[in-house]
Amino acid sequence: MKKLNVAIIGQGRSGKSIHGSYYTCERNVYYNVKYVVEFDERRRRIAEEMYEGAIALCDYKELFDKKDIDLVVNVSYSEMHYSITKDLLEHGFNVMVDKPFAKTRYECDDLIRIAKEKGVLLAVFHNSQPSPFFIHAQKLIKDGVLGDIKQISIRYSGFARRWDWQTLQKKVAGSAYNTGPHPIALALGFLDFDKNFKVEYSKLDLALTSGDAEDYVKILLTAPEKPLIDIEINSTDAFSGYNLKIQGSKGTLLSTPSWYKMKYIVDGENPPQPVIEESLQDENGNPLYCSEKLITHEENGDYEGTAFDLGTAGVYESVYNALTKGEPLFVTPEQAAMVISVIETCHAQNPLPLKW
């Protein structure tokens, strides 16, 4: 199997700890890190030690005269995603850009257009969609185990504060752009990426952040004949305890990326109760509450792998197969653009004052 040559831009937390961890793990049988672009000299030295044989550069434009690059991975600052990706695409490179795809839907569509015109691949790094806990949930829904799904609640919350660049609106930061692509992509996935989805309600607010970008996000999404999706990213929730709750007519799934538990009923084991119009009472005429003991089943288990290992590996494998075999991407740029549409709508509905 031929390995593809990669140039990665950025060695911050995501570039080094997420993408870099993949490049240096045994799951990576597809890519060779040929170039690393990083403006910080110390990080360049670390990268050359981390990726054996890699050449470190300080400006991504130094890649333009390189003829041995199969894929450029753009893990620059979020506000640079659009401009750098556009420049790379126009120079004929295949590009995978980290989340967020861009700031606006217009920017996303512009990048998609340029990639098609240039005949190159454009991918977006959404590693939650191939993660085991999401795939498992989708299968349970498809198999009908939980019945008719009424509501899906997605929580990416905690009790912590930030004071870095990810708290500044001018950096295309805040919880919606930073963490949001994960739960929003899952939400749209549960809605089958229906183009008729609607942001029924949204709220962006500041709680513990030191910057001017939101650290509280509430979004309700709907689509025709689909369940209600309730998304929350909250820096003040010390007791969330789960990432995903799916409530259906036959049962409930509660899960995190690491574990799940489920309680459900099975067709035929609980025959329908006849409707009684009069008040219920016992043999002595005392009023009764309408109650019964359902025959239920419970299941629990652990997931092997998360978005950061198996999810990341899944994205990279999909990109490799798209480049070498012409297979469709597991996560399409059109799907990632829909995620940005949700975020852009939320910001339009909740304008926050700029302080920096």
Q: Residue 147 has what pLDDT?
A: 98
Residue with tokens 């050449």: 55
Could you state, in order of their start, the residue ranges of all structural domains in the chain? 4-126+311-327, 132-266+296-308+339-349
Q: Strand, coil or helix: what is 312?
A: helix
CB–CB of 244/154 below 8 Å? Answer: yes
CB–CB of 204/216 below 8 Å? Answer: yes
Q: In whole angstroms, what is the distance from residue 22 CA to residue 18 CA?
A: 6
At the top level of CATH, the class of 4-126+311-327 is alpha beta
Q: Residue 146 has what pLDDT?
A: 98
Nearest to 123 by CA among 328, 310, 340, 319: 319
CB–CB of 6/71 below 8 Å? Answer: yes
Contacts of 175 (CB under 8 A, 6+ apart): 213, 214, 215, 216, 217, 233, 235
pTM: 0.95
CB–CB of 228/151 below 8 Å? Answer: yes
Q: Residue 1 has what pLDDT?
A: 81
Nearest to 41 by CA among 59, 16, 53, 66: 59
CATH superfamily of the domain spanning 132-266+296-308+339-349: Dihydrodipicolinate Reductase; domain 2 (3.30.360.10)
Residue with tokens 């390189």: 66
What are the phi and psi torsion angles at 315 (to 5°)? Answer: -65, -45
pLDDT tens for the 356 residues of the chain, in order: 899 999 999 999 999 999 999 999 999 999 999 999 999 999 999 999 999 999 999 999 999 999 999 999 999 999 999 999 999 999 999 999 999 999 999 999 999 999 999 999 999 999 999 999 999 999 999 999 999 999 999 999 999 999 999 999 999 999 999 999 999 999 999 999 999 999 999 999 999 999 999 999 999 999 999 999 999 999 999 998 999 999 999 999 999 999 999 999 999 999 999 999 999 999 899 999 998 999 999 999 999 999 999 999 999 999 999 999 999 999 999 999 999 999 999 999 999 999 99
Q: Strand, coil or helix: what is 127?
A: coil
**Structure tokens belonging to residue 308:** 């950061």
Q: Beta strand pairing status for 198-205 and 216-222?
A: antiparallel
Q: Residue 108 has what pLDDT?
A: 98
In order, the DSSP letters of 152-195 are EEEE---B----SGGG-GGGT-SHHHHTTHHHHHHHHHHTTT-T
Buried b (16+ CB within 10 A) or exposed e, 81-106: bbebbbbbbeeebbbbbbbbbbbbbe
Q: Residue 34 has what pLDDT?
A: 98
Q: Residue 25 has what pLDDT?
A: 96
Bond prior to 100 in cis (omega within 30° of 0): yes
- For residue 15, the one-letter residue type is G
